[in-house]
Amino acid sequence: MTSYGSWPTPITSELVVRAAASLSGVAVDGASVWWSELRPQEGGRTQLVQKSGDGPAVDRLPGDYNARTAVHEYGGGAWWARGRSVWFANWADQRLYRLTGNGMPLPVTPEPAAARGDRWADGDVDPSGRWIAVVHEHHPPGAGPADVVNEVVVLDAEAAGSAEPGVLVAGPDFVSNPRWSPDGTRLCWVQWNHPDMPWDGTELYVATVAIGDDGPRLTAPALVAGRPHRAGDGTGDGESVTQPVWAADGSLWFLSDRTGWSNLCRWSPDAGVAARVQLDAEIGEPQWIFGQSRYAILDGGRVAFAARRDGVDRLYVAGLAGEVEQIDVPYTAISSVTAGGNDVVFVGASATSEPAVVRLSLAPEVARARVLRPPRDLGLDTSWFSLPEAIEFPTTGDATAHGLFYPPTNPGVEAPVGELPPLLVLIHGGPTGAARPMLQVAVQYWTSRGFAVVDVNYRGSTGYGRDYMRQLDGAWGVADVDDCVAAASWLAEQRRVDAARLAIRGGSAGGFTTLAALAFRDVFAAGASHYGVADLEALAIETHKFESRYLDGLVGPYPEARDTYVARSPIHHVDGFDRPLIVLQGLEDEVVPPNQAEMIVEALRAKGVPVAYVPFAGEQHGFRQAANIRRALDAEMSFYAQVFDFPVPPDEAIEPIEVENL
């Protein structure tokens, strides 16, 4: 029998990245379906893929072009297609390009005054094909977060390198989702202001479009739905409105959480706003990125949508009278929902299958599915995959928290008798995010070696209603830590994991929770922080515009609540650290700058706490390049092997990581 952690496995870091691709941004344009693929083996670039009819899927971006925008730093909505053309923001220079037919990409916008100073996202081409309404983020030379301007502008869709934006919407701190009505006479958009984040409170506007000698302009803007969460006096219930979509009849559909769940509503000029789908489930997701789509309007007025309940996505169709029917599909995680006629096209994944692009016919007589872009062939039987078990467990304040538990799974190994497995507690980022029940080979990397894993949906996570998300207000660094401790302790009490070998790991906001758990609690034997926050005060001062007021809600207004920032920042409580820590950090991270990682590493070195530091040149907030993804996984594996004193699995060329002070 082989000890837990040392099980031999074919699920190596090389397999994790080999031909791996993150699929997103599905669009239907006539007979073509487009999608984007983030490819680690191509340096982490995003390729655009087009499939026309029954023909093959074709890569469309030549050379080193990379369809990725830096708006809000998190991007999304970096491209859109119309006819024979696709427009995209190129990562290297952030200029907007147009690709037509089999030609080369041509710039639409001019060189900005500051390198990468003009950024573009979430565009929509008007019915005439002449104009693009698009989100423009302008960074003046030497700009700080307070100097960045976000606005909706209009561009000439066919301009050749000199398109000057005409401003349509200016004034709000943030804007998204500019969308033309089917007849081109109206434009809608979503806006919000500091200190709200888009899941706190947004406003949906509609305005009339007037075409003059200098192009389109807006008149008579009217508020349709939504309200701020933190009004001028710092209070308010808030309504988050997202993902507006025009229907063929001129009505406007959107998602609203006014009922406590993100559900579907419909607005028309005559009838105003009416609820169309009401479920105790989440259709919407937190708007961290542009271009999200969880529903689509089919021909004839039916609506296909994904909704999440108990952490699992399901596909539904709403009829003309509001009746809702669940569609039987084998997918538990669904995104990028769009429509082509009576077909719904989406990205779907399951617990045993990575994401695929799927086209499902929803013609009244029969539902037929066709996989347009299959998941990669891992060459593994499904017996290698640990299946997620939805769990809920008691936590502080007489509350209940949630998670997905993955037991160690390896068909070629007999588990040691009388021994319990080590546990990795995974903490998603955000903290407004969610663990998703889909095959993630990077999780199976651990479970196939003999680790148990729990992916915690702590209070503040989405997918369980607005009230559950709001439970983290003012409590970041407390409630999330409590829930991660509760998850690990509950599993240990259930005799499913070894209470002496509990480890915690997370990235970004999850990295902060990791550091806080090690600084303020004594439950975990080790931790791994991936680009995590060590100093809340430094984050509030230094981070980018989109998140520069995020902590007002999670911690308190700064600087008024500075004492709370200091009290909850792990960097000010190094005396509480006595367990080994590995820190992994991208050196070009604009969200959590590298000094956050370096501060905590230097402090632990000075104290003599075992610590390892792995910096990655050329990486931003998250690792996208194949070599770096592999190095991060294997370095963390080496770290746990040294801390828990077991050999790494044989026959793997895992380079040992130096753990100082061990």
Residue partners of 546: CB distance under 8 A and separation at least 6:
72, 73, 74, 174
For residue 471, being part of any structural domain is answered with yes
C-alpha 181/C-alpha 565 separation (Å) is 45
Closest Cα partner for 455 from 398, 386, 516? 386
Quick one: tokens of 341? Answer: 């006629």
The more confidently predicted of residues 310 and 217 is 217
For residue 547, being part of any structural domain is answered with yes
Query: How many CB atoms neighbour CB 375 within 10 A?
Result: 18
Question: Residue 392: in which H helix or E strand, if any?
Answer: strand 389-395
Mean pLDDT (whole number) for 246-263: 97
For residue 201, being part of any structural domain is answered with no
pLDDT for the residue 160 = 82
Phi-psi region of 425 (alpha: psi -120 to 50; beta: other; left: phi over 0): beta
pLDDT for the residue 213 = 84
Average pLDDT, the chain: 94
pLDDT digits (tens, 9 = 90+) for 549-587: 999 999 999 999 999 999 999 999 999 999 999 999 999
- The rounded radius of gyration (Å) of the Cα atoms in the chain is 24
DSSP structure class, residue 654: P
pLDDT for the residue 234 = 47
pLDDT digits (tens, 9 = 90+) for 614-656: 999 999 888 889 899 999 999 999 999 999 999 887 778 888 9
Is the predicted pLDDT of residue 366 greater than 80, yes or no? no
Between 140-154, 231-245, 262-276, the lowest mean confidence (pLDDT) is in: 231-245
Is the predicted pLDDT of residue 607 greater than 80, yes or no? yes
Sheet holding 149-156, edge to edge: 118-125, 131-138, 149-156, 166-169
Give the number of domains in the chain: 1
Quick one: tokens of 444? Answer: 């199976």
For residue 400, being part of any structural domain is answered with yes
The more confidently predicted of residues 587 and 87 is 87
Question: Which DSSP string corresponds to 248-271?
Answer: TTS-EEEEE-TTSS-EEEEEETTT
Could you list the residue range(s) of the whole structural domain that residue 449 is in?
Answer: 380-583+598-610+631-644
Residue partners of 200: CB distance under 8 A and separation at least 6:
192, 228, 229, 230, 238, 240, 553
pLDDT digits (tens, 9 = 90+) for 449-474: 999 999 999 999 999 999 999 999 99
Question: Residue 469: in which H helix or E strand, if any?
Answer: helix 466-470
C-alpha 198/C-alpha 57 separation (Å) is 35
pLDDT digits (tens, 9 = 90+) for 171-205: 999 999 999 999 999 999 999 999 999 999 999 99
What CATH number does the domain containing 418 carry?
A: 3.40.50.1820
Between 155-164, 390-399, 400-409, the lowest mean confidence (pLDDT) is in: 155-164
Quick one: tokens of 610? Answer: 């075992």
Question: Which DSSP string corresponds to 625-649?
Answer: SHHHHHHHHHHHHHHHHHHHT-PPP
Query: How many CB atoms neighbour CB 494 within 10 A?
Result: 11
For residue 640, being part of any structural domain is answered with yes
For residue 30, being part of any structural domain is answered with no
Mean pLDDT (whole number) for 84-102: 96
Is the predicted pLDDT of residue 113 greater than 80, yes or no? yes
For residue 434, being part of any structural domain is answered with yes
C-alpha 106/C-alpha 100 separation (Å) is 9
C-alpha 344/C-alpha 247 separation (Å) is 15
pLDDT level of residue 1 (50, 70, 90 thresholds): low
For residue 373, being part of any structural domain is answered with no
